[in-house]
Structure 1
Amino acid sequence: MRILIDADGCPVVDLTLSIARRRGVECLILCDTSHVFEKPGAATLTVSKGADSVDFALVNLLRPGDIAVTQDHGLAAMCLARRARALDQNGMEYTSGNIDALLLARHTFQKISRAGGRLKGPARRGPDQDRAFAATLERLLDETP
């Protein structure tokens, strides 16, 4: 089992690496050439910049039982299809029970945006999100054989 991080725009890279190091779990950071990461204790795979290039690289590397950290609902759906676990930066686990609703909401927001509508962005990130993320990641690590 490994943790794969979709690092483009991910605010919990350091927190993930800290937990992975403590638990002795291999961690792989994936990013494109516009977001280069080098973190001690983790391998980094940098792919060419392009639409969804990191997403497809991550999915191709996934093995059943791996854990993916991503903010992207579409990528999370692909991870679930590969029998991996996935969670977002706020500690929400993506599951077969919630992914369809999340994808529908994303589609609806995209339609509103394309039509010129404006939506309120996410609230400012705080320590509660870090605690929720850490708790969910720890639980997934405990549950994964």
Structure 2
Amino acid sequence: MKIYVDADGCPVVDIAVGVAKEYKLEIIVVKNYAHEIADLYATVVSVDISRDSADFYIINRIEKGDIVITQDYGLAAMCLSKKAICINQNGFIFSQNNIDGMLNRRHLYQQLRRQNKYYSKAKKRIPEADREFEIVLRKLIEKHNFQVP
């Protein structure tokens, strides 16, 4: 099992790396070259700044049972098709049961934004979201029979 982080704009990179290190799991942090991320434990991969470069890097390398941390519904859908486990920065687990509805809602909101009928405003991140993410990530790792060595 490996952990991949779609790191562009991801607020939980440090938490994910800390958990991976504790469980002695390989973690690959994928970012475009405009972001500055460095870590002594994680493998940090810089990709082109073009749209979806990080997504393509991840989807071409993941294997069944890998964990992918992303807020991108499209990447989550592709990862699920390869039997990877997908989680967002708030601890929400993407699944075959919920991804279609999320993709449909994303498409609807894109249409409304193009018509200037919908404006989304990101909520300020709260510390409880970090704690929930860490709890869910640990449960996923332990569910797949990985214990602290």
Counterpart of 1:10? Answer: 10
Counterpart of 1:44? Answer: 44
On the 8 A contact 2:5/2:28 being kept in 1, the answer is yes
- Name the CA distance, whole Å, in 2 between partners of 1:82 and 1:36: 29
Counterpart of 2:96? Answer: 96
Q: TM-score, normalised by structure 1?
A: 0.96
Query: 1:116, CA displacement in angstroms?
Result: 1.3
- Name the CA distance, whole Å, in 1 between partners of 2:64 and 2:27: 15
- Name the CA distance, whole Å, in 1 between partners of 2:122 and 2:132: 16
- Name the CA distance, whole Å, in 1 between partners of 2:11 and 2:112: 26
Q: Structure 2 unaligned runs (5+)?
A: none
On the 8 A contact 1:2/1:67 being kept in 2, the answer is yes
Show structure 1 runs of 4+ deviating over 6 A: none
On the 8 A contact 2:70/2:87 being kept in 1, the answer is yes
Equivalent residue runs for 1:80-95 within 5 Å: 80-95=80-95
Secondary structure of 2:60 counterpart: helix
Q: RMSD in angstroms over aligned alpha carbons?
A: 1.0
Q: Deviations over 1:25-67 (max 9, x none)?
A: 1100001111232112000111111111110111001011000
Q: Deviations over 1:73-119 (max 9, x none)?
A: 00000110011000000000000111011111111111111111232
Counterpart of 1:118? Answer: 118
Q: Structure 1 unaligned runs (5+)?
A: none
- Name the CA distance, whole Å, in 2 between partners of 1:38 and 1:14: 10
Q: What is the letter of the counterpart of residue 97 of structure 1?
A: N
On the 8 A contact 2:74/2:103 being kept in 1, the answer is yes
Counterpart of 1:31? Answer: 31
Secondary structure of 1:11 counterpart: coil
How many correspondences in the alignment? 145
- Name the CA distance, whole Å, in 1 between partners of 2:61 and 2:144: 18
Q: TM-score, normalised by structure 2?
A: 0.93
1:137 matched to 2:137? The reply is yes
Identical pairs, percent: 37
On the 8 A contact 1:36/1:46 being kept in 2, the answer is no
